[in-house]
Structure 1
Amino acid sequence: MAKILILNGSPNAKGCTATALQEMVGIFDAEGIETEVIQLGNKDIRGCISCGKCEQIGKCVFDDLVNEVAPKFKEADGLVVGSPVYYGSPNGTILSFMDRLFYSTHFSKHMKVGVAVVSCRRGGNTASFDVLNKYFTISGMPVASSTYWNQVHGFTAEDVKKDLEGLQTMRNLARNMSFMIKAFSDAKEKYGYPEVETGCFTSFPDGK
């Protein structure tokens, strides 16, 4: 069975972001896809210090939730990352988590489907959406889209339940993500995944 890992970067486990993510979970259940929701927005997650130890020991040097989630991410067919908007950007906890998760995991993320979901009261959604999508697009992860940008609006969970278009967007997003995961699985069996070239690394070490 296909599996999707869902990260809730909000400190509120039953808030606006969670409401959007649960709307997706209902569709995943109907599509026969297993989900696991991990609440991380209320955890103490420090940022990456670029020490490079993960290259040596195969995991982040800070042994916390990042290292617990890493093997689940490896086995998952897709990743959903949800965050509220703080000052026009994803909140600091989810950014620290994503920096360390993606940097310290050296397994291939190629063709895992990525989805960003953001929530706010009024503004900052599209900027936050853009930031989160960059984790996927640097890692060879196809990004699922919907019938609008993957966002909901509201100050409380009850507000989000009134955002009917936002919830509709979440349901369509979950359907599209489910389809992509199933289609990629079939295509892998029939064609194999695309070749990935890795030989070039632009660094200009000669200073010219």
Structure 2
Amino acid sequence: MKVLVIMGSPRSQGNTAFLLDEILSELEKEGIETRKIDIAQASIKPCLGHDNCAQYKKCPQNDDMDAIFKEMSEADGFIVATPVYYYNVTAQLKAFIDRHYFLYKHDVSLEFKAVGVVILAEEQGLDDTLNTLVQYLDSSFKVKADELVVLTGYAAREGDAKTNTELINLARNMGQTLASSLKENS
């Protein structure tokens, strides 16, 4: 079993990355393979909005999305994570989400046995960001809000998550819950 994580934070060692590592550690303890893709480090160009997208056999953008789509198709579980930047997902994650239009136009719908969402905010934007990610997951993978394992919380400054026992426990519990779901649905 494998869980693929898409991290939308531009800070590779920030609060979001720290909590993801806690989640992944729990999954790995259960023998589940994990892979975290830091999309801020990947080459992901924005969608060009071709009216004739469905006519292309391959997206004309030459970047890392084809490889990421391949990894997604091979994963049993999926986690998407983002800090809240200006009341919603980061620009890096929005570009990633928009590129799923190609799959949509080609009637490709991936299925996962367990799906998680991680969102951290300084003080506002959790609800709007969760709504964005629920809509993305539902339209791209037919994952409904009640099928998600969700971790939301607050971390005002870089490094705050490392000292927040409640967030750390929530992350570990999320990893255990996802591991159980994967094993039950295998």
Verify same fold: TM over 0.5: yes
Equivalenced residues, count: 180
Task: Report which stretch shifted further, 19-28 or 169-178.
Answer: 169-178
Q: Render the CA deviation track for 1:3-47: whole Å, top value 9, x for unaligned.
A: 011111111110111011111011011111100111112445332
Q: Report 1 or 2 for greater relative contact order, CA contacts < 8 Å, sequence distance ≥ 6.
A: 2
**Aligned residue in 1 for 2:179:** 178
Give 1:144's match in structure 2, choosing from 143, 148, 173.
148
TM-score by length of 1: 0.78
TM-score by length of 2: 0.86
**Aligned residue in 2 for 1:3:** 2
* Mapped partners of 1:181, 1:36: distance in 2: 15
Q: Render the CA deviation track for 1:147-198: whole Å, top value 9, x for unaligned.
A: xx5123223442111221112111111211122222222xxxxxxxxxxxxx
Q: Could you tell me which amino acid in structure 2 is paired with residue 141 of structure 1?
A: V
**Aligned residue in 1 for 2:136:** 135
**Aligned residue in 2 for 1:107:** 108
**Aligned residue in 1 for 2:155:** 154
Q: What is the percent sequence identity of the aligned residues?
A: 27
Q: 1:183 to 1:93 in 2, by over 3 A?
A: same
Kindly name which structure, 1 or 2, has the bigger radius of gyration based on alpha carbons.
Answer: 1
* Mapped partners of 2:128, 2:9: distance in 1: 17
Conserved in 2, the CA contact under 8 Å of 1:150 and 1:173? yes
Q: 1:46 to 1:182 in 2, by over 3 A?
A: same
Q: CA RMSD of the aligned region, Å?
A: 2.0
Conserved in 2, the CA contact under 8 Å of 1:54 and 1:61? no
Q: 1:81 to 1:111 in 2, by over 3 A?
A: closer
Conserved in 2, the CA contact under 8 Å of 1:53 and 1:60? no
List aligned pairs for 1:67-146, cutoff 5 A. 67-100=66-99, 102-105=100-103, 106-138=107-139, 139-141=141-143, 143-145=147-149
SS of 2:171's equivalent in the other structure is helix
* Mapped partners of 2:52, 2:69: distance in 1: 16
Structure 1: state its 5+ residue gaps.
186-208
